[in-house]
Structure 1
Amino acid sequence: MRWAIATVFGAGHLRPAPGTWASAIAVVLAIVAYEAGGALLVPLAAVLATIAGLLALPKFLQGQLSADPSEVVIDEVAGQWLALSFTLIPLWSHGVPDLLLGAWPAWVAPFLLFRLFDIWKPWLVGRADRMEGATGVMLDDLLAGLFAGIVSMGLAGVYHGVVEPWLG
């Protein structure tokens, strides 16, 4: 069970870039949940993935050569769902029905920004990445997700508050 959680049922073995594959899978699952009327499942899933990762990773990481093996992608899934929550919940609360095509920036921006922050590891993300154990593995991606979500909301605010009215 630890393997299934840590690798998100083997997604961590997809190559190249298992973290990107896992993030893409998280986006697809979030879109499916949103389209099925379960937008609130996305932040709930982020919390549950975080808890599952924190419980499974200590034993899974024992004896590993790397402190954060590339096949461990539960952290990317949790972080991606956190990032998506920042845009999906406002869309849902405004009754936007078509996420896939009608509101595609709401999932593309958090996906791209999350991958950027997860790879680049600026500021607190980099500090968390240097932490030991399961907490460090999970925390850097959660912070990347937090920053991606905040920047996504900022971009949406600029677009809807400045660009869209100007385009008229």
Structure 2
Amino acid sequence: MTTSAKTPNLQFLLQHPAHFLGLGFGSGLAKIAPGTFGTLVAFPLAWMSLALPLPIQWALIAGLFLLGIPICTITGKAIGVVDHGGIVWDEIVAMLLVLTFSPVEWPWWLTAFLLFRLFDIWKPFPIRQCDAKLKNGFGVMFDDLLAAIYAIISLEVLMWITTNY
């Protein structure tokens, strides 16, 4: 028995708290580039968390990652596609992590955004392999965590180059 995929809409978004969060407070309903719109949701959240000590920010992000596993599982099952493009909780959480490694200056936040989107879309090894094999809420979250790690490493290298040369 196969279930056909649903197209998420406002009614679907408001049907369940997991849908609301999984679809990034509605940003995942964007017809074009929902992952990009979802990633942008991380910026005001990151800005609001700046007053918190960094270890607390990381603990919150870890909690949001763990919360994302059932959020993405529930939303993906309801849509009928495990990693539907409209599910953007994974992008939000991963981008929050990247921003904790970035100076709080718009050129660096823009660079962090571009690097994360590059690795999230490109999916270099082992991201593509994890995305293909892990077809569950953990897999949805994990491939974006890997993209965040690539973005963080690249960002740190760029910061080192610009401050040491």
Q: Would you say same fold, with TM above 0.5?
A: yes
Unaligned residue ranges in structure 2 (runs of 5+)? 1-16
Specify whether residues 112 and 39 from structure 1 end up closer, same or farther in structure 2 by C-alpha distance, changes over 3 A only.
farther
How many equivalent pairs are there? Answer: 147
- What TM-score does the superposition give when structure 1 sets the normalisation length? 0.79
CA distance in 2, matches of 1:44, 1:22: 21
Q: How does 1:82-121 map to 2 (within 5 A)?
A: 82-88=97-103, 99=104, 103-121=105-123
Deviations 1:24-43 (A, max 9, x none): 12123213432xx2363543
- Letter in structure 1 aligned against 2:71: A
Task: Confirm or deny that 1:135 pairs with 2:138.
Answer: yes
- Taking only the aligned residue pairs, the percentage that are identical comes to 31
Unaligned residue ranges in structure 1 (runs of 5+)? 89-98, 163-168
Deviations 1:81-121 (A, max 9, x none): 11112224xxxxxxxxxx3xxx2233111110000000001
Q: Give the equivalent residue in structure 2 for 1:91.
A: none
Q: CA contact under 8 A between 1:45 and 1:78: conserved in structure 2? A: no
CA distance in 1, matches of 2:47, 2:18: 26
- What TM-score does the superposition give when structure 2 sets the normalisation length? 0.80
- Letter in structure 2 aligned against 1:105: P
* Larger CA deviation: 44-53 vs 75-84: 44-53
Superposed CA RMSD in Å reads 1.8
Deviations 1:55-92 (A, max 9, x none): 2222322253322111100000011111112224xxxx
| Pick aligned residue for 2:39 from 19, 23, 28 | 23
Q: CA contact under 8 A between 2:75 and 2:87: conserved in structure 1? A: no
Q: CA contact under 8 A between 1:129 and 1:137: conserved in structure 2? A: yes
Q: After the TM superposition, list the runs of 4 or more consecutive aligned residues in structure 1 that deviate by more than 4 angstroms.
A: none
CA distance in 2, matches of 1:63, 1:30: 29
- Letter in structure 1 aligned against 2:149: L
Q: Give the equivalent residue in structure 1 for 2:52.
A: 38
CA distance in 2, matches of 1:39, 1:13: 33
Task: Confirm or deny that 1:47 pairs with 2:49.
Answer: no
Q: Give the equivalent residue in structure 1 for 2:153.
A: 150
- Letter in structure 1 aligned against 2:84: P
Specify whether residues 19 and 39 from structure 1 end up closer, same or farther in structure 2 by C-alpha distance, changes over 3 A only.
farther
Q: Give the equivalent residue in structure 2 for 1:94.
A: none
